[in-house]
């Protein structure tokens, strides 16, 4: 049985005087999936490996922002190491489809002009987040699928990889267990391992990106929320940048990422606690419908926060004001 818990979520908000300071600010948050995470079942070694991977990704994004780089570049810099790390369900280490393949989804959005790119069902691109960005910058479209996306990619100079690169034994075992014991994806995975990043750069621009292998045993060309602009990813300089992880069908139905940004845009209180309340309210809607998962969010004011309704979410955040942390369980 799937148990849902409302987790404590954490807000980082700056005092009003700091927000008025002339110092340019930057902010970044990352995630590596949410789910039923039990501290007693995680070995110290495994925990250390996850924390190191999250810190490594956070550091890559931070370096871009602290050096005056763009939020878009920071999002890509943070997501690439997570795609390359088999601990996470994105790029290498993606979950298996019912047919025993790995089909990857990714999306990215630039809050400056709301330009966006997304791909679904790609099988040969080492870093799907880079292909999503190429769709944004070098095609007249927003969303490409399968073979067409690969054909577009072939002219873009992106690194490719053979099927063995993406396929890992633990993920294959999850599929086999799912089939043998007639389990759901949630029963075998215990967590959603999608990765994502959101960032604010010193120019005041926001960006968001998300990358995933989807859910174990997906079939019939199933597409989750991660590559759907508005559901798994959204960025708009007027409101916020959001990346989601969770049971994609519910996130699509609620339109989670855009719903949070829209509520923030029309809300009077776009600083401090208001951001957290809005994110929590939208995640509560996901829960009411029966879905679970979480989001990361940054605002134009530099707030970086999380909201999730699971017992844990692999996550991290850093800001120019000195915040620098990674965390896994809800109580952290
Ligand atoms: N949201 C993803 C999907 O539904 C899964 C995840 O977050 O890991 O495909």
Is 192 a pocket residue for ligand 1 (Cβ < 6 Å)?
yes
Task: Please state at what angle helix 71-84 crosses helix 44-66, rounded to 10 degrees.
Answer: 150
What's the pLDDT at 188?
60
Stretch 302-312: mean pLDDT: 95
Is 299 a pocket residue for ligand 1 (Cβ < 6 Å)?
no
CB contact at 8 A, 240 and 115: no
pTM for the whole structure: 0.91
Is 215 a pocket residue for ligand 1 (Cβ < 6 Å)?
yes
Residue ranges covered by each domain of the chain: 5-13+23-329
Residue nearest atom 7 of ligand 1, based on CA coordinates: 245
- Please provide the average confidence, as pLDDT, over all residues in the chain: 90
Stretch 250-271: mean pLDDT: 89
Stretch 84-96: mean pLDDT: 96
Q: Which of 84, 114, 59 is nearest to 240 (CA)?
A: 114
Pure H helices in the chain: 16-20, 44-66, 71-84, 128-138, 146-154, 163-166, 169-181, 185-189, 248-254, 256-266, 273-289
Is 150 a pocket residue for ligand 1 (Cβ < 6 Å)?
no
| Top mutation candidate among 103, 222, 225, 290 for ligand 1, by most atoms within 8 Å of CB | 225
Ligand 1: centre distance to CA 90 (Å): 10
What's the pLDDT at 186?
60
CA distances from 168 to 8, 57, 92, 99, 130 (A): 33, 21, 8, 15, 22
Stretch 127-141: mean pLDDT: 98
Ligand 1: centre distance to CA 20 (Å): 38
What's the pLDDT at 305?
96
Rounded Cα distance between 174 and 94, Å, is 11
177 vs 102, higher pLDDT:
102
Ligand 1: centre distance to CA 47 (Å): 21
Q: Which of 206, 283, 267 is nearest to 237 (CA)?
A: 206
Instruction: Report the catalytic residues.
Output: 194
Rounded Cα distance between 48 and 54, Å, is 10
Q: For residue 81, count CB atoms less than 10 angstroms from its CB and return exposed for 0-12, middle for 13-18, buried for 19 or more.
A: buried
Please write the tens of the pLDDT for every residue from 270-299: 455 589 999 999 999 999 999 999 999 999
Is 194 a pocket residue for ligand 1 (Cβ < 6 Å)?
yes
Other residues' Cβ atoms within 10 Å of the Cβ of residue 46: 11
Q: Which of 65-69, 186-190, 204-208, 299-303 has the lowest mean pLDDT?
A: 186-190
Beta bridge partners of 110: 115, 207
Q: How far, in whole angstroms, is CA 46 from its chain's centroid?
A: 21
**The domain 5-13+23-329: what is its CATH number?**
3.60.20.30
Rounded Cα distance between 260 and 240, Å, is 8
| Top mutation candidate among 31, 36, 211, 215 for ligand 1, by most atoms within 8 Å of CB | 215
pLDDT tops 90 at residue 136 = yes
Quick check: helix, strand or coil at residue 241? strand
Quick check: helix, strand or coil at residue 292? coil
CB contact at 8 A, 291 and 192: no
Burial 204-217 (b: 16+ CB within 10 A, else e): bbbbbbbbbbbbbb
Q: Which of 107-116, 169-178, 249-258 has the lowest mean pLDDT?
A: 169-178
Is 214 a pocket residue for ligand 1 (Cβ < 6 Å)?
yes
Q: Which of 294, 290, 292, 211 is nearest to 257 (CA)?
A: 294
Rounded Cα distance between 79 and 122, Å, is 17
Stretch 109-116: mean pLDDT: 98
pLDDT band at 18 (very low <50, low <70, confident <90, very high): very low
What's the pLDDT at 254?
98
Q: How far, in whole angstroms, is CA 14 from its chain's centroid?
A: 24
Is 245 a pocket residue for ligand 1 (Cβ < 6 Å)?
yes
Ligand 1: centre distance to CA 194 (Å): 6
Ligand 1: centre distance to CA 15 (Å): 35
CA distances from 163 to 92, 149, 189, 268 (A): 9, 16, 21, 49
CA distances from 257 to 79, 176, 183 (A): 18, 33, 29
Please write the tens of the pLDDT for every residue from 19-73: 445 689 999 999 999 987 778 888 999 999 999 999 999 999 999 999 999 999 9
Residue nearest atom 5 of ligand 1, based on CA coordinates: 214
CB contact at 8 A, 13 and 271: yes
End-to-end CA distance of the chain: 25
Ligand 1: centre distance to CA 106 (Å): 11
Question: Which residues have CB under 8 Å from 225's CB, separation 6+?
Answer: 231, 232, 244, 246, 248, 249, 251, 252, 256
Atom of ligand 1 lying closest to residue 222 CA: 9
Ligand 1: centre distance to CA 226 (Å): 6
pLDDT band at 161 (very low <50, low <70, confident <90, very high): very high
What's the pLDDT at 3?
36
What's the pLDDT at 241?
98
Stretch 171-182: mean pLDDT: 86
What percent of the chain has pLDDT above 70?
Answer: 89
Residue nearest atom 9 of ligand 1, based on CA coordinates: 214
| Top mutation candidate among 245, 255, 308 for ligand 1, by most atoms within 8 Å of CB | 245
What's the pLDDT at 2?
37
């Amino acid at each position: 049985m799937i148990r849902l818990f409302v987790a404590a979520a954490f807000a980082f908000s700056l005092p009003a005087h700091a927000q008025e300071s002339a110092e340019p600010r930057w902010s970044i948050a990352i995630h590596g999936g949410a789910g039923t995470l039990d501290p007693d079942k995680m070995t110290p070694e495994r925990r250390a490996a996850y924390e190191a991977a999250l810190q490594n990704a956070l550091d890559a994004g931070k370096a871009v922002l602290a050096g005056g780089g763009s939020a878009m570049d920071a999002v890509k810099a943070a997501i690439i190491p997570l795609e390359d790390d088999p601990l996470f369900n994105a790029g290498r280490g993606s979950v298996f489809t019912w047919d025993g393949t790995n089909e990857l989804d990714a999306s990215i959005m630039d809050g400056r002009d709301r330009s966006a790119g997304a791909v679904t069902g790609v099988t040969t691109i080492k870093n799907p987040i880079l292909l999503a960005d190429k769709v944004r910058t070098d095609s007249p479209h927003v969303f490409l699928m399968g073979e067409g996306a690969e054909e577009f990619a072939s002219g873009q100079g992106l690194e490719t990889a053979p099927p063995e690169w993406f396929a890992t034994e633990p993920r294959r075992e999850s599929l086999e267990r799912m089939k043998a014991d007639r389990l759901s994806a949630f029963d075998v995975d215990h967590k959603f391992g999608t990765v994502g990043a959101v960032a604010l750069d010193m120019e005041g621009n926001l960006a968001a990106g998300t990358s995933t292998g989807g859910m174990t045993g997906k079939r019939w060309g199933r597409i989750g929320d991660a590559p759907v602009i508005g559901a798994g990813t959204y960025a708009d300089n007027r409101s916020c940048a959001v990346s989601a992880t969770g049971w994609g069908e519910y996130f699509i139905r609620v339109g989670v990422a855009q719903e949070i940004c829209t509520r923030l845009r029309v809300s009077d209180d776009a600083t401090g606690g208001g951001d957290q309340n809005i994110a929590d309210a939208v995640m509560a809607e996901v829960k009411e419908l029966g879905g679970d998962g979480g989001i990361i969010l940054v605002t134009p004011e530099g707030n970086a926060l999380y909201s999730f309704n699971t017992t844990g979410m692999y996550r991290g955040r850093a800001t120019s004001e000195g915040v620098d942390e990674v965390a896994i369980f809800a109580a952290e």
